[in-house]
Amino acid sequence: MAPAMASVLSFLGATGTVTGSRFLLDTPSARVLVDCGMFQGLKHLRDRNWAPFPVEPRSIDAVVLTHAHLDHSGYLPALVRDGFDGPILATPQTAELAAIVMADSGHLQEEDADYANRKGFSKHHPARALYTEKDAHRAAECFRHVPFNALVETADGVTVILRPAGHILGSSTATLAIAGRVNRTLFASGDLGRVNHPILRPPAPPPEADVMLVESTYGDRTHESVEEAEERLAAVISRTAARGGTVVIPSFAVDRTEVILLALGRMVAESRIPSLPVYADSPMALEVLRVYRRAIASGDPEIRPECITGKDLFDPGSLHELRTPEQSRELNDLEYPSIIISASGMATGGRVLHHLLRCLPDNRCAVVLPGYQAAGTRGRLLADGARTIKMLGRYVPVHAEIVVVDAFSVHADGNEIVEWLRRGPKAPDTAFVIHGEPQAGTVLSKRLEAELGWHAVVPRPGERVRLD
Ligand SMILES: [Zn+2]
C-alpha cells in the first residue's frame, strides 16, 4: 500500500469491550501493531476472530506485545500463519509466558473442534480450529526480546520503550516515539496492575506522551480491600468444607493462580481456613507456575523483595499438581472437601468445565470467581445469578454457592488508574479510554476530564485518528 502521509492510529479491538486488544499505528514509514489479542465473550465479538484481519498481515512491520494474556496475544498465531513475518517485540518474560498461552490456546481450539465434530453439536460443519498448536509454536519463534526500560527500534522511524506494568510477570506499558514531520509519542497502558500486587512490584509511573491509550477494565468500579476479599474467601472455603463440598475456582492460568495459591497459603498459616487438599488442575497454569517460581528464585527485579525468601510461596501445604487428563478425571471421584483451581478463568473452556459440570448441581459445593468475567461468558452468567448454564452440550442446574471475589483481580480499579495517571509529568493532548465495556470507559473518561483536567475520548470500534 502507499505510505500514509500522516501518522494514523486505528482502533481494531478492545474498543467498547475488554478483549481483542489491537491498535494499529501507521506512520509515513512504518506500520506497527500494538497487541494482537483474541476476542472473547459475546458471540458477535468471538465471531470477529474469524473475520480476515483488517489489514494484510504481511504489511505489518512489527508487533509490540504488552503482556501474555490471551486477549492481548491470542491472535498472534493466526497473524503469523496469514503472512506476518516481522518481529514480535516483548519482554523475555512475556515472550516465554505468551508461548505457553498461545500453545495452550491452539491445543484447546483443536480439541474443541474435534469434540464438537465427534458429538455433532457445532453449528459449523465441520467445526475447525481458529489456529493450531503448531501455528502457535511458529508465532513463538517470532519473538524478539526487549528488556525493560531499553529504547529499541521497532520499525523504520518508530522506537519503543517497555516499562513494568505490575499486572502479570513480564507485563509492560509501551511508549512509542514516532519520527515524522512532527515527532509524536504514543503511550499504551497495556493492562495496568495494582500497587499492592502481592508478588510484583508496582507499575512504573507513566511517562510523558502526546497521546495515551488508557485501559478501563474496572474503570467504573472500586475493588474491595484485599482484607475484606480474603475474609469472604476464607468464609466460603470454611462453609463449604463444613458441609463436605468442593470449592471450584476457575482461574486465569497466568498470575491469578499464583495470587490465589499465595492467599490460600497465608490463610492456612493463620488458621483462617482448614488445611484442605488443593488441586491445581491445568497444565498451562503449572507451566506458568514454573516460570514464576524461577523468576522468584533468580531474584527477577519485577518481584517484590519480600517474596524472595527461598521458600515455595505457592504451596499452601497440600498442593497437588495435576498434569495428565487421567489425574484430572480422578478428581471426579473425590468425596471429601477440597479446593480445585482450574482454567479457563471465565469458564469458557478447559478442564474447569468438567469440574463445574459435577459441582454446579451440588448444593454442598461452591464456585469462587476471582477475576474479571467478560459479558457473554459462563463466568459472567454465574456471577449474574444464572440458575442454569449450558456447557458441553447440555443444560446444568446451578445449586452450588457462587461467590465473586473481584479483589483478586490484577487490574487497577478506577481510583488506582486515576491516581497512577496523576503521577505522570504532563497531560497528554488526548487520552483514549479503551479496554473496557461501554459503561466503564465512559465513567473513567469523565473522571479523567473532571479530576485531571484531561481531554479524554472513548473511541468507536474501527475508528481511525490522526496523531499529528
Ligand atoms: Zn491482562
Q: What digits encode the pLDDT tens for the residues 279-300?
A: 999 999 999 999 999 999 999 9
Residue 4 has pLDDT above 60, yes or no: no
**Res. 86 pLDDT band, cuts 50 70 90:** very high
Bridge partners (DSSP) of residue 24 are 10, 33
Range from 22-26, 76-80, 88-92, 195-199 carrying the lowest mean pLDDT: 195-199
Q: Among candidates 461, 446, 439, which has minimal Cα distance to 220? A: 439
Task: Give pLDDT, residue 375.
Answer: 85
- Mean pLDDT of all residues in 350-370: 94
Q: Ligand 1 centroid vs 242 CA: distance in angstroms?
A: 35
pLDDT confidence of residue 122? 62
Distance 217 CA to ligand 1 centre (A): 10
Q: Could you tell me if 444 and 222 are in contact, meaning their C-beta atoms sit under 8 angstroms apart?
A: no
The predicted-structure confidence for 419-438, as pLDDT tens digits, reads as follows 999 999 999 999 999 999 89
199 CA distance to ligand 1 centroid (A)? 15
Residue 448 Cα to ligand 1 midpoint, Å, equals: 22
pLDDT band at residue 1, thresholds of 50, 70 and 90? very low
Distance 167 CA to ligand 1 centre (A): 7
161-187 per-position pLDDT tens digit: 999 999 999 999 999 999 987 899 999
Q: Give the confidence band of 373 by pLDDT, cuts at 50, 70, 90.
A: confident
Task: Give residue 436's pLDDT.
Answer: 92
> In this predicted model, what pLDDT tens digit does every residue of 221-278 receive, in sequence order?
888 888 888 999 999 999 999 999 999 999 988 899 999 999 999 999 999 999 999 9
Using pLDDT thresholds of 50, 70 and 90, give the confidence band for residue 2: very low
Q: Which three cell numbers stand for residue 85?
A: 513475518
> Is 312 in contact with 278 (CB distance < 8 Å)?
no
Per-residue pLDDT at 307 exceeds 60: yes
If you measure from the C-alpha of residue 67 to the centroid of ligand 1, how many angstroms do you get, rounded to a whole number? 7
For ligand 1, the distance from its centroid to the CA atom of residue 139, given in whole angstroms, is 19
Rounded to the nearest angstrom, the distance between the alpha carbon of 71 and the centre of ligand 1 is 7
Cβ atoms of 245 and 463 within 8 Å: the answer is no
pLDDT in tens, 16-48: 888 999 999 999 999 999 999 999 888 888 889
Q: Of 136, 154, 134, which Cα lies nearest the Cα of 144?
A: 154
Q: What is the dihedral of CA 351, 353, 356, 361, to 10 degrees?
A: -140
- Between CA 331 and CA 357 the distance in angstroms is 12
pLDDT confidence of residue 44: 84
Q: Measure 272 CA to ligand 1 centroid, in angstroms.
A: 30
Q: How far apart are CA 48 and CA 66, in angstroms?
A: 21
Distance 70 CA to ligand 1 centre (A): 8
Give the Å distance between the CA of 19 and the centre of ligand 1.
9
* DSSP per-residue string spanning 255-308: THHHHHHHHHHHHHHTTSS----EEEE-HHHHHHHHHHHHHHHTT-TTB-GGG-
Greatest alpha-carbon pair distance for the chain in Å reads 69
- Name every residue whose Cβ is closer than 8 Å to that of residue 396 and which is 6 or more positions away in sequence: 356, 357, 360, 361, 388, 389, 390
Distance CA 417, CA 218 (A): 9
Residue type, 290: R
Q: pTM value?
A: 0.92
Question: Which is it for strands 278-281 and 388-391: parallel, antiparallel or unpaired?
Answer: unpaired
The residue ranking higher by pLDDT, 345 or 249, is: 249
Is the pLDDT assigned to residue 414 strictly greater than 80?
A: yes
Is pLDDT of 450 > 50? yes
Q: Compute the distance from residue 90 Cα to the ligand 1 centre, in Å.
A: 14
| Cα gap 117→126, rounded to integer Å | 6
Give the pLDDT confidence score for residue 223 in this predicted structure: 85
Percent of the chain with pLDDT over 70: 98
Measure 445 CA to ligand 1 centroid, in angstroms.
20
Main-chain dihedrals φ then ψ at residue 268, nearest 5 degrees: -65, -45
- Residue 407 CB burial class (10 angstroms; 0-12, 13-18, ≥19): buried
Give residue 296 CA to ligand 1 midpoint distance, Å.
20
Question: How many angstroms separate the alpha carbon of residue 399 from the centre of ligand 1?
Answer: 31
Kindly give the distance from the C-alpha atom of residue 104 to the centroid of ligand 1, in angstroms, as a whole number.
Answer: 16
Count CB atoms within 10 A of the CB of residue 366.
Answer: 23
How far does the centroid of ligand 1 lie from the alpha carbon of residue 215, in Å?
10
Confidence of residue 121 (pLDDT cuts 50, 70, 90): low
